[in-house]
Amino acid sequence: MTPLRVLIVDDEAPARRKLLRLLAAEPAIEIAGQAASAADALHAILTLRPGLLFLDIQLPDGTGFDVLNALPDPSSVPTIFVTAFDQFALKAFEVHALDYLLKPIDPARFSSVLARARRLASAPHPGLAALLAEPPRPFPQRLLLHLGDRSLFVPASSIEYLEAARNYVTVHAAAHSHTIRSTLDRFSSQLDPRHFVRINRSQIVNLNHVRELQPWFHGEYRVVLHSGLALHWSRRFSPGRAPALALP
């Protein structure tokens, strides 16, 4: 039996320990990691790539729903919500969760839910073969910027962030800034969404240049670049809503 990699997200240490004890009694389980906040959970999911997620709904800096909404493809991570409040059950299924567990967790129900997760993990996704056969959409490695009477090629990887002001966009790349007449929507269609994310109405950031993601107020975040510059990830676009975060 192939080990099932599990990530546990809960802000309460006793709750995490309870899940660890239940999982220890099951065969072929690998604990990929633990997280106690929405921000840490998001980073752990994207870096550890777990095969199953036990996700608390109420977290200090958001909710489990926020975490899933922040993923490029929420359905890519089989998720079992863990909550003390059964009124969240319906919403759990609305976001395509695999199942949910009520605290205190009943060991028999836990085993049943885990067995279902194993069955789904071992079953091939009906569209997986077609997805693998389809070549990924190519995104340009360099962007051609028209700057007045000249044009300049800028490597996409060198772009730190883009900032819009009315009908103009400033591209900040490799310590240089280039302002052209364009829109963020037009750039979004050219940039790889695995790396470039809209963080507010006027800015797109290259996640390869992000050093730190700091929880802020009301589901918002500060995005600190390697250069030290701090940008604002608004609630509308942040893990408190539904961004396409994909940390490298």
* Count of structural domains within the chain: 2
25 and 62: one domain? yes
| Alpha-carbon separation of residue 8 from 53, 58, 115 (angstroms) | 6, 14, 17
- By residue range, what is the domain housing residue 101? 4-133
What pLDDT score was predicted for residue 243? 41
What pLDDT score was predicted for residue 50? 94
Kindly report the CATH number assigned to the domain that includes residue 49: 3.40.50.2300
The CA distance from 137 to 119, in Å, is 31
90 and 149: one domain? no
List per-block mean pLDDT (blocks of 10 residues) for the chain, which spans 248 residues.
92 96 95 94 92 93 87 84 71 69 90 88 50 55 83 91 92 91 85 86 92 77 91 74 40
What pLDDT score was predicted for residue 216? 75
165 and 104: one domain? no
Residue 207's CB: how many other CB atoms inside 10 A? 18
Kindly report the CATH number assigned to the domain that includes residue 229: 2.40.50.1020
| Phi, psi torsion values for 61, nearest 5 degrees | -115, 20
90 and 118: one domain? yes
Query: pTM surpassing 0.85?
Result: no
